[in-house]
């Protein structure tokens, strides 16, 4: 699961796209995620970040295989 990284912010758990970080602090990065349509999903008791619904669906597909 990807947490917040000071330099790179959050990253998508599927395509590894990054958002926030650098000059943006945790809260600002959270806000950017929200405005950019990122989603949080709980999977096996852990939270994951996805940049879009498609990445989440692809992630689930791979998990099932």
Q: Which residues bind Zn ion (CB under 5 A)?
A: 12, 14-15, 17, 51, 55
Q: Which lies closer to Zn ion via its Cβ, residue 2 or residue 24? A: 2
- Considering the complex, what minimum distance in angstroms separates the CB of residue 37 from Zn ion? 11
Q: Where do the DSSP E strands lie in 1-65?
A: 10-11, 18-19, 39-43, 46-50
- Considering the complex, what minimum distance in angstroms separates the CB of residue 31 from Zn ion? 18
- Considering the complex, what minimum distance in angstroms separates the CB of residue 48 from Zn ion? 11
């Amino acid at each position: 699961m990807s947490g917040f990284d000071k330099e790179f912010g959050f990253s998508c758990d599927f395509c590894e796209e990054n958002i926030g970080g650098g000059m943006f602090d945790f809260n600002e990065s959270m806000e950017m995620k929200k405005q950019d349509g990122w989603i949080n999903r709980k999977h096996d008791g852990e939270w994951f970040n996805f940049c879009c619904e498609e990445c989440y669906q692809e992630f689930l597909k791979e998990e099932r295989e």
